[in-house]
Amino acid sequence: MALFDDDRSPLPESSGLDEPSHRRGPRPVRERIGWWAAIVATVIGIVFALFPTPYVIERPGPVYDTLGTAEHGDEEIPLIEIPDERTYPTEGELNLLTVSVVGRPGSTPTWFEVLGAWLDRQQSVVPVEAIFPPGLSNEDRDAQNSAAMVDSQQDAIAAALVELGYDFPREVTVSGVVEDGPADGVLQDDDVVLAVNGTEVFSIDELRSAVQDNGTDAPAELTVLRDGEEVSVEVTPTDNGGTAVLGIGVRMVYEFPIDVELQLDDVGGPSAGMMFALGIVDKLTPGAMTGGEIIAGTGTIDSSGIVGPIGGIRQKLWGAKDAGATVFLAPESNCDEVTGHVPDGLDVFAVTDLDQAREIVEAVGEDADTDAFATCPTS
């Protein structure tokens, strides 16, 4: 008598075949459930991956040479024009960097895109609210960034002209007083702050520093220009998250001695200030400051030339590398973000002010020794 496995059937004697058939019967219930579970999990994974995320992606954006031109409508125009002054030929490039953001509230990247960005050194994944604060519309944010760019361009012009020895009014002007704040009833809109405790201030950063030095335990003596007359007032700063503040808004008002025109469309924020200032200095001084080298950098700047921190510096490093730069000027206060993220072949110098940045560019242009200048650690 022949024996057969459970899932086999005996061959009819008349079949003429020597071997049994291998027709399979129904799979066990447990195996079928496992297959269905795998299929459902795959479908759920694909659907989930295509869903929006609470993140946006930062990646390197366009690079602009402040010594060159950019598209403006249907024509190419210089980023820096100084129509009524003698300017000098330049060489090389002084590149400002930008960051492109992928996604907006209501239209964020998918999980597939986020995973790809996590695995890419040139990109960063950040919470959407870090770029788009809640309660602020996209239009308001874009308007703020545009205003910040305009203000930074004015600061860049001022910093460059101060660096070159021009003398002109730089007024730290009150643009608002916080109700029930320490300066309420003491300072007024359009007051020009001339000095704090006898020390003159010519920039917003200098005002902030002087108020911080005063502290919150004693009143600060402010000399202000009001309706054409100097007035002395006292304001006791209050603490705001560890910072001494007067409870006022301020803006800079300049009266430039020469006409400097900066053109850059569709770019927001204040981070182009230092590179614009360097470009202005290069155009107004004999000799090519870069020596033909491609130099990139980023940083805010105030009228006294102080260079401040910016966002997205890791993406800007890669943007500089892709544009052919070998030297990168970074705000010293951003060095902690730079360490461990420097592309090969790029030297990153830490700068604190315009004068130092200019010295580095000139040293690179002259192929001089740059060992005396501070660098951001690569690792």
On the CB side of 202, how many CA atoms lie within 13 Å of its CA? 16
Alpha-helical runs (H) found in the chain:
29-50, 111-118, 128-131, 138-163, 204-214, 273-283, 313-322, 335-338, 354-365
Beta pairing partners, 222:
196, 233
DSSP single-letter state for residue 108: P
- Domain boundaries in the chain? 59-107+138-165+258-365, 170-254
Q: Which of 327, 191, 313 is nearest to 250 (CA)?
A: 191
Amino acid at 60: P
The answer for residues whose C-beta is within 8 angstroms of residue 124's C-beta and 6 or more apart is 57, 58, 59, 117, 312, 314, 315
User: According to the CATH classification, is domain 170-254 in 2.30.42.10?
Assistant: yes
| CA 339 – CA 217 distance, rounded (Å) | 38
Q: Which of 342, 351, 345 is nearest to 373 (CA)?
A: 351
The answer for residues whose C-beta is within 8 angstroms of residue 326's C-beta and 6 or more apart is 293, 294, 295, 345, 346, 347
Beta pairing partners, 330:
350
Task: List the pLDDT tens digit at each of the 379 positions of the chain.
Answer: 343 344 444 444 444 444 555 555 555 656 656 665 566 555 555 555 566 789 999 999 999 999 999 877 778 899 999 999 999 999 999 999 999 999 988 888 988 888 889 999 999 999 999 888 887 777 777 777 777 888 899 999 999 999 999 999 999 999 999 999 999 999 999 999 999 999 999 999 999 999 999 999 999 999 999 999 999 999 999 999 999 999 999 999 999 999 999 988 777 778 899 999 999 999 999 999 999 999 999 999 999 999 999 999 999 999 999 999 999 999 999 999 998 899 999 999 999 999 999 999 999 999 999 999 999 987 7
Indicate yes or no: pTM above 0.85: no
> How many C-beta atoms lie closer than 10 Å to residue 32's C-beta?
11
Q: Kindly provide the b/e burial profile for residues 102-140, where b requires at least 16 CB atoms within 10 angstroms of the residue's own CB.
A: bbebeebbebebbeebeeeebbbbbebeebbeeeeeeee
What CATH number does the domain located at 59-107+138-165+258-365 have? 3.30.230.10
On the CB side of 14, how many CA atoms lie within 13 Å of its CA? 0
* Local structure of 234: helix, strand or coil: strand
Find the helix or strand (DSSP H, E) in which 325 lies: none
